[in-house]
A and B are shown apart, each in its own frame.
Chain A
Amino acid sequence: MAAELTTDSRRLALLAGSIRKSVVRSLSEAGSGHLGGSMSSADILACLYFSILRHEPLDPAWPERDRFILSIGHIAPVLYATLAEAGYFGKEELLTLRRVGSRLQGHPGRDHHLPGLELSAGSLGQGLSVAAGMAIAAKMDHSGYRIYCLNGDGELQEGSIWEAAMAASGHCLDNLTVIIDRNGLQIDGPTEKVMALEPLKNKWEAFGWNAIECDGHDFNSLLNAFNQAGMTTGRPSVIIAKTIMGKGIPSIEGDYHWHGRAPDKQQADEFIKEIVSL
């Protein structure tokens, strides 16, 4: 039995807002964590879990479920907030983020048995290979489920990503869709200054992928991109979602210093006010 999905962008916006607030609260309670990327990916996560993925919160191991791989492990807070919003576990548990013994590890850890986690991850550049392996298995078994993998743009500097990209198109994995949180920033500053990625769309196309650019904060644009990906046969698709680090909290939007910071209690209260007022 699959979870109920929607294509209503107002509903999705409400869900994304709720997810953002949960992230802010859980990070401020934890005292550490990655706010910037969690915000830039929130709309993508809302779209995936409430519109795209065939999944069942009450049966996380449902064999026919679509798989979602969070390759950028450090934005675990937004994945946790989304899973809680979808009903995999109670929202109050979000306040245990990063505490010793918690199911909500700083980077996803399946060894703590949080329902809904497909992969323990945290070292950038690995998730795409795992997603490709899952897609190969699904093809071998003639299974209909799809595999989605969220990568950061800085993460694309890792060479292992391109090994996986080559393999995915080499093996015609059209059941695999990659989404890139293209917020243009990383720890040392703008990606184009640290280690330039452009022309990014061309790179993926050169590797044999169907590359789709979209607005990562416009649900219609995202849904359209997922639709295109879903209809593509013979090769995998990558959705390059243009996003803004810190999106949803206007006072920190575009500020790369918030990549790996968590708000203190006072900042958290202010940020929540900003999210609510949107």
Chain B
Amino acid sequence: MPVGFLNRGNKATKAGFGEGLLEAGRANEKVVALGADITASVGVDLFATAFPRRFISLGIAEQNCAGVAAGLALSGKIPVFTTYAVFSALRTTDQVRISVCYNNLHVIIGGAHAGVSVGPDGATHQALEDIAVMRVMPNMTVLSPCDASQTRLAVKAAIGKCNGPVYLRFGREAMPDFTTGETGFEIGKAQLLKQGSDLTVIATGHMVWEALLAAEELEKQGIHARVLNIHTIKPLDVEMVVLAAMETGALVTAEEHQVAGGLGSAVAEAAARHCPVPIEFVGMNDSFGESGKPWELMEKFGMTASHITESCRLVLGRKR
């Protein structure tokens, strides 16, 4: 078990999303949920069952969903539109850009089934470009919580604490649930999960647990890796990233996403501007996914603890 953290049992982040949405719905009657035909699959069934009059079924029409969400937000509701991230973030890009972001509306877009860990459905359903597209939209907040417990807090914060558009990505597969009440969740604040001085692993989503495993392995070899959980990719906690660059001199980013445009790029932008250091990027290397078991795919496409460890060794070799 990684230093300081215990896997309480595998649980899908989408389950955390569903629980958090239900709690938010109980707390605020303005919260409404939009369904694009796959309600249970993306964790919205709890809300739909509890609040049938606040659940709006719109069918397989995601562009319309995004626009309807904008209309609801303009009318005093807090709409949560959730479907697979490939659809909620990519198919709807024009509507999200103009109807939601240009109007700066408090709309929460849930991006389910993010990453290759989606598994057997294959490439068409594995979102690996959504962070890149969503973070480049002005006014957008981009959240990527690391486990089910954090996802529950993230969706509540997105609904209760944000003022404008929010994109929240989460996964399908049951993964380690390890954050505690002490870990907490504050939008825009990176979480220091492990202190270290030789390098920093900056991870998001499912890759955070992998980062902790990698750091534990590195400790055995006398390498002290710092681990940061970036659950808010936008606005990025530039201060913590730059501090890590200054104090440890080398960075490795890790995400279940293309290495271009996502967390890695956001971190590189901050480091290049304030404190350029060697960076290695763990993620999807400019390719589509494919069918397979979730762990097979993480292994095949280079997104596991051992890939992070290898990148750490590489980046240490580049350190001046």
Contacts and interface: CB of A to CB of B under 8 A. Distances in A.
Given A137-B77, A167-B58, A129 B103 contact: no
A108 B53 CA distance: 33
Given A120-B103, A140-B54, A163-B63, A133 B76 contact: no
Contact of A129 (B32, B67, B73, B104): B67
Interface in A99-121: 109-111, 118-121
Interface in B210-245: none
B54 A163 contact: no
A113 to B, nearest CB: 12
A136 interface: yes
B192 interface: no
A163 B205 CA distance: 33
B94 A123 contact: yes
Contacts, number: 99
B64 interface: yes
Given A133-B67, A137-B77, A160 B95 contact: yes
A132 B71 contact: yes
A15 B71 CA distance: 30
B61 A133 contact: no
A210 interface: no
B74 A129 contact: no
Nearest to B71: A133
B56 interface: yes
Contacts of B32: 140
A137 B97 CA distance: 22
Contacts of A275: none
Interface residues of A, number: 32
B155 interface: no
A160 B73 CA distance: 19
B98 A129 contact: no
Interface string A139-166: 0110000000000000000011001101
Given A111-B102, A167-B58, A130 B63 contact: no
A133 B94 contact: no
A134 B71 contact: yes
Contacts of A119: 70, 74, 99, 103
B102 A130 contact: no
B69 interface: yes
A138 interface: yes
Nearest to B97: A123
Among B59, B75, B76, the most chain A Cβ lie within 10 Å of the Cβ of: B75
A225 to B, nearest CB: 23
B98 A122 contact: yes
A121 B103 CA distance: 9
Given A123-B94, A163-B64, A130 B71 contact: yes
Contacts of A131: 71
Nearest to B75: A137
Contacts of A138: 75
B72 interface: yes
A133 B75 contact: yes
Interface in B92-116: 94-95, 97-99, 102-104
Contacts of B68: 129-130, 132-133, 136, 164, 167
Contact of A130 (B54, B74, B77): B74
A122 B94 CA distance: 11
Contacts of A16: none
B190 to A, nearest CB: 29
A118 B103 CA distance: 10
Given A111-B104, A136-B56, A128 B74 contact: no
B188 to A, nearest CB: 22
A137 B74 CA distance: 9
A137 B77 CA distance: 7
A129 B76 contact: no
Given A126-B98, A127-B67, A137-B71, 7 more contacts: A126-B99, A129-B64, A135-B71, A140-B32, A163-B64, A167-B58, A167-B68
13 contacts: A110-B104, A111-B102, A119-B99, A123-B98, A130-B68, A133-B71, A133-B72, A133-B74, A137-B77, A163-B61, A166-B61, A167-B61, A171-B56
Top-7 shortest CB links A-B: A133-B71, A129-B67, A137-B75, A163-B64, A133-B68, A163-B61, A130-B71
